[in-house]
Amino acid sequence: MTMAEHIKCLIIGSGPAGYTAAIYASRAGLAPVMYQGSQPGGQLTITNDVENFPGYPDGIQGPQMMQDLENQARRFGTDIRFGMATSVDFSVSPKKVVIDESTELTADAVIIATGASAKWLGLESEKKYNGLGVSACAVCDGFFYRNQVVAIVGGGDTAAEEATYLANICSKVHMIVRREELRASLIMQKRVLNNPKIEVHWNSETDEILGDASGVTGARLKNVKTGETEELTLTGFFVAIGHKPNTDIFKDYLNLDEAGYIQTIKGSTNTNIEGVFACGDAQDNIYRQAVTAAGTGCMAALDAERWLAANELH
């Protein structure tokens, strides 16, 4: 029987959090091994212009930024591999992790940076214009639609918050709500309903996102009660129906909140399992920004380094 490969510091997932953790762990001499997951580079690989990450005065394309971070991690010695963690056993020490359902590893410290995936409507046109007017992050991309007309789908707190954010930037915001009421908290409802730049379309769903070679030009809505349709003219279409953290394989061992985000000990990236750390969007259901993900990636590497040293595993 072949012995499982043993790794001192294993990083599961890539993206700003994972790559930052890799940079810090490599420089600390932890010989980290990273498995990039099903989407190497994470959500930023499907983002065009990134203008709010410090250090890029002229902005940068999302895929190029992720390649830069990967190259930086490699420069310091991170062993970056293709592959996806498909199961774990955190009840034993060292921890066991299976890659692609076939390769078993053991690790002293594990840094989880598996991120979260935006929930989408499931329209083909949504996929077609993703990055060409369709976005799941108003804070990330709203700036590109300054003084333009946009739409946002959703009726919860996130949708209400992002609609209000967009109203400060855009000339008009169409808010598409499937029900005849908002699910958002009362204070967020008041902000939306009292904002003259936000028009709420009740009992409505998106039938199609319209566009041409240059990107989104509008959306066709359908009233779920009457079946009537209407077309909106707009240049940006934002989806705010939630995110799903990529944490299913950890649910038997780690404390998750009701939405599936990993719960970390306040002021750290420590989980309820010694030697397992979580960073980025897998544990952040509030900010979900590249820069905050990178910050927690740094924290996770420092926490892992200190834990390994304290347990004489450094």
Determine which one of 9, 137, 170, 279 is catalytic.
137
Q: Is 140 a catalytic residue?
A: yes
Measuring CA to CA, how many Å separate 17 from each of 226, 252, 254?
Answer: 46, 23, 19
Q: Is 298 a catalytic residue?
A: no
Determine which one of 140, 279, 281, 284 is catalytic.
140
- Which of these, 165, 154, 170, lies nearest to 191 by C-alpha position? 165
Determine which one of 49, 58, 68, 141 is catalytic.
141
Cα separation, 133 vs 87, whole angstroms: 36
Q: Which two tokens stand for residue 120?
A: 């989408």
Burial of residue 83, with CB atoms counted within 10 A of its CB: 0-12 exposed, 13-18 middle, 19 or more buried: middle
Q: Is 141 a catalytic residue?
A: yes
User: Hey, which residues are catalytic here?
Assistant: 137, 140-141
